[in-house]
Every structure is written in C-alpha cells, then in structure tokens.
Structure 1
Amino acid sequence: MRDNNDMPGHLIRRLQQIAVAVFHSEAEAAGYDLTPVQYAALAAISTSPGIDQVTLAGLIAYDRTTITGVVDRLAQKGLIERQASSRDRRARELTMTPEGKKTLEGITPAVTAAQQLMVRGLTDDETEELMRLLRKAIAAGNELSRAPLRQV
C-alpha cells in the first residue's frame, strides 16, 4: 500500500487545506470576511461587469448550484448587485457595488500575502515550476471536473 505522501490527490488536498486556512487567516487579519471563492467571484465580476451567473461559474470553475450561494452571499454583504439581463430574461447580470470595489481593493494586499505564504518553502524558480506543473495538470484534467474552467 502506498503512503499518502506518495499520492498526488492527498498532497493536492493538503495544499488546498493550507491554501484555504492561509487565505482566511490573512483576510481576517486585514478585517475582511470573504472566502476564497467569494474573492474569486468578486474579482471576476470586477473584470467582467454585467457577467451572468452561468458565465461566472465557468470562469472560476464552480458548479451552477454552488455559484448561486456564493452570489447570494456577496449580494447579502452588499458587494454586488443582480439585475435582470436585457439580453435574456432568465439571466441575471452581476455588477459590483461601490462597497464591493472598496472591499476588493482593500483585501488585495492580504490575498497577495496569502499567495506568498502558500509557497513560502519554495524558491522563486521552484514556485514558477510548481505553477507551470499545476497549470499543466489542471489543463489535462479540466474536462474531468464537475465544474470545468470555461474561458470567455
């Protein structure tokens, strides 16, 4: 039987646990109550104002059911607004509120610090190599996911 430390799935899960813990710690220390997926959604809405929920889900690789809860929480926090789409009556367009813009700008240094903490045991070259390998593995397995990443 293989040791867990020889299994990529186990190591990826552990790194994800560390990444989430570090993100929460840095965000909380900076005075923000935002999860990693809420941050990802807010950042995507910032760069694509008027995006609909289905497209947002594809951009950040989350399933449609989960993204509904994420959008609901961001709206409850007053960070985004949902409006009926002028192109599709069934779709809701998402835009950031002034509070959402302020939050995104304010939390960005904490997110940057969290990213650095996640790879603190690696040199710059090792970090670049890790990122290259992660991107390669993700690209090869993207379609196996319940929520594949979709480029717009």
Structure 2
Amino acid sequence: MNGVSIIVEILRPIGNISRALDSIANIEFKELALSKGQYLYLVRICEHPGIIQERLAEMIKVDRTTASRAIRKMATNGFVERRSDNINKKIRRLFPTEKANQVYPLINRENLYSNDVALQGLSAEEADLLEKLLTKVSKNVATNWDFVKKGNHREY
C-alpha cells in the first residue's frame, strides 16, 4: 500500500464519522434552538467560561468570521453573553447564560452516548490506543491548519 491510499483509508472514515455525528447532533439539538454546529461552541464556552472568540475559533478549527456569526446567533438566542475584559475593554469574553448551562448536560450526555456507540466492540485497550492515535493525528492536522490559516501554502 502506498502513502496516498493509507491517507485516504484513514481520512475518509474520520470524515464520515464526523459528518454523521454532526448531522445527528444538529437534528437532535434543533429543538433547543441551536442551529448547525452551535452545540460545539456552547460546549466549549460552558467548559471555558470567559474564553475569547479567537481562542474559541482556534479550538473548533473555524475561521473568525464563522465563529463570529455563530456566536452572534447564540447571543440572540440567549445562550451566550459577551462581557468586556476587566483589564482590556476591547477584549470581549464569552460566558454561558443560564439557558446554556441548562442545556449543557443534555449535550454532554449525547456526546457520551455517541462515544459509547462509536467504541462498541473495542476493548478498553483498543479504545485507549485509538484515543492516543487520534490525538496525535489531530495535532498533526492542527499544525497544518494553523500554517495555512496564517496565509501559507503547503507543499504537496
């Protein structure tokens, strides 16, 4: 097997898993007034109250414009509150509202359930190894993502 076929065999299933779980979550969380992918933002804001938008976008791996649009909608729907930083008033920190804190446990339960479904049939050792390997792959991709987002071009 050459390097290209290995990459295709790894990245396609990862993409399929990601799209399937994202689609499921978007359908299940629609009744919460969380539109496409906003549950990802809500979880990170609940887990990191006071996070700045730039750091949030970096965590989720989206551009600032996409993050800004999602955060604006979430603020309009009462999930997020923007507050000025105590020291630098130009910095706006993001905090979950009471509404966000109420739906966070449901979203977290869905995440745990999806993890359980995804790991069915794997031993504890296999699941642990998978987590370690995917974390390594994620770090590799994050390095490239950061490089390209800064305006650079990768050499193929």
The question of a shared fold, defined as TM-score above 0.5 by the shorter chain, is answered with yes
Q: Which has the higher contact order (CA 8 A, sep 6+)?
A: 1
Query: Per the alignment, in what secondary structure is the counterpart of residue 88 of structure 1?
Result: coil
CA distance in 1, matches of 2:144, 2:16: 20
CA RMSD of aligned residues (A): 2.9
**Which residue of structure 2 aligns with residue 11 of structure 1?**
13
Cα drift, residue 116 of structure 1? 1.7
Which residue pairs with 2:98 in the alignment? 98
TM-score between the two structures when normalised by the length of structure 1: 0.75
Q: Hey, what does 1:119 align to over in structure 2?
A: 119
- For 2:49 and 2:8, locate their aligned partners in 1 and report how far apart those are by CA, in whole Å: 43
Q: CA deviation at 1:10?
A: 1.9
Which residue does the alignment assign to 1:50?
A: 50
Per-residue deviation at 1:26?
A: 5.0
Deviations 1:25-81 (A, max 9, x none): 5546xx534368423322222233222211222233332121112211221220111
Amino acid at match of 1:8: I
| TM-score, with length taken from structure 2 | 0.73
* Equivalent pair of 2:44/2:56 in contact (CA under 8 Å): yes
- Give the structure 1 partner of residue 76 of structure 2: 76
The residue aligned with 1:60 is 60
Q: 1:113 to 1:33 in 2, by over 3 A?
A: farther
Quote the Cα distance in structure 1 between the aligned partners of 2:127 and 2:20.
16
Give 5+ residue unaligned stretches, structure 2: 149-156
Question: Match of 1:44, SS?
Answer: helix
Q: Deviations over 1:95-119 (max 9, x none)?
A: 1111111111233222211222233
Distance change (3 Å), C-alpha of 1:5 and 1:144: closer
Percent identity over paired residues? 23
Which sections of structure 1, spanning at least 5 residues, go unmatched?
none
Aligned length: 145
Choose from 14, 21, 41 the match for 2:23.
21
- Measured at CA, do residues 22 and 59 of structure 1 come closer, stay the same or move farther in structure 2, by a change above 3 Å? same
